[in-house]
Structure 1
Amino acid sequence: MSVLIPAAIVIGTVVGMELVAYLAHRYLMHGIGWGWHKSHHEETEGWWERNDLYAVVFAVLSLGLMWLDPGHTGLFWLGVGMATYGALYFVAHDGLVHRRWPFHWVPRRGYMQRLYQAHRLHHAVEGKDGCVSFGFLYAPPVRVLKQRLQENRVKGAATDPAPEASLPDGR
């Protein structure tokens, strides 16, 4: 198998996983799976939160695909793509946005700032209803998210912001 085919499978899987993650976050985690995800929207103590079980499930699926395909004919590379997405998620979401690492950096411009702000706006409401921005590696423009958040508040779908969800510099 040419190196281009595995690379295409991995890259395609990473892109596809953003759609899977968006749908899972929007409809599963903020729906029937709220029991696990709720811990992510609340103050928790320690390094573990129940929401981390979602990462464990996806890691088991990824490793399972790799294990099922020892000849590296296709499923293996799908699993590698899922693992790559998981690593990117870990860096961007857990590290950058939620500061679950020992160092802190708040981006001041560009893509990383938009990603950071979008996820902070996701946490700008209490509870599971009225949230915006469900992707992890893609974020709509912040002005669009703020407008949607305001519309959700007017409709009564969103409650007052959680204090920890404010953006740096009041943005």
Structure 2
Amino acid sequence: MNLIAGAALTAATFLGMEFVAWFMHKYVLHGPLWFLHRSHHVRHPHRFERNDFFFLFYGGLSMLLMVYGGPEKDWRYWVGLGVAVYGTLYFFVHDVLIHRRLPFWRRTQSAYLRALNMAHKMHHKTSGRDGSQEFGLLWVSPKYFTLAARPRAAASSGRPTTTAAQEVSKSY
């Protein structure tokens, strides 16, 4: 497979992973594998969660595809690379920015990333497997993007303000 076709397959896999992540999160993690995913929805004093096993699964799948497709650079290599790129982005956005599991990237000025954060916080409003919403990672519902794009209220105004996150909470 040539480089352009491989890059296109990697990009398609990366984009397709958003649907895979949404589907797996909604129907598998909040379904039969809730016993593992539950650890992500409750507060705990541990550094790691049972939910982290999913990282090992997708990382292992990506690695196997790249190893076995690597010598010929066939479709397996490029699909594995797309899964790896999605997983890397997932780690930095979900685990570092949103859940702050590592001590960097605390704040962002990006309205998109703030909207993504709001949507994820709405997902975590429920601690059970039922009643959650917003199961994807990269696609943000327009209502969150609109709220996140609003300028932040000046802290010195002396008036009580409603944050975008509070407005999102009110709408449910």
TM-score range, shorter chain: 0.7 to 0.9
TM-score by length of 2: 0.80
Q: Write out per-residue CA displacement over residues 73-120 of structure 1, whole angstroms, 9 at most, x where no aligned residue.
A: 111010010000000000110011100111352435521111110001
State the SS of the aligned residue for 1:31: coil
Question: Structure 2, unaligned stretches of length 5 or more?
Answer: 146-162, 168-172
Alignment partner, residue 166 of structure 2: 170
Alignment partner, residue 105 of structure 1: 106
Q: 1:65 to 1:16 in 2, by over 3 A?
A: same
CA contact 1:66–1:76 (8 Å) conserved in 2: yes
Greater displacement, 101-110 / 1-10: 101-110
State the SS of the aligned residue for 1:80: helix
Greater displacement, 67-76 / 53-62: 67-76
How far the C-alpha of 1:14 sits from its partner, in A, is 0.4
Q: How does 1:17-166 map to 2 (within 5 A)?
A: 17-69=17-69, 70-142=71-143
How far the C-alpha of 1:2 sits from its partner, in A, is 3.0
Q: Which amino acid aligns with 1:52?
A: D
- Structure number with larger C-alpha Rg: 2
Q: 1:92 to 1:108 in 2, by over 3 A?
A: same
Deviation >6 Å, runs of 4+? none
Q: How much identity, in percent, do the aligned residues show?
A: 38
State the SS of the aligned residue for 1:51: helix
Q: In 1, distance between residues paired with 2:106 and 2:164?
A: 11
Question: Structure 1, unaligned stretches of length 5 or more?
Answer: 145-166
Q: CA RMSD in A?
A: 2.1
Q: In 2, distance between residues paired with 1:48 and 1:168?
A: 30
TM-score by length of 1: 0.81
Greater displacement, 3-12 / 20-29: 3-12
Q: In 1, distance between residues paired with 2:144 and 2:112?
A: 14
Greater displacement, 124-133 / 106-115: 106-115
Q: Write out per-residue CA displacement over residues 6-35 of structure 1, whole angstroms, 9 at most, x where no aligned residue.
A: 110111000000000000000000000001
Alignment partner, residue 6 of structure 2: 6
Q: 1:19 to 1:114 in 2, by over 3 A?
A: same
Q: Which amino acid aligns with 2:11?
A: I
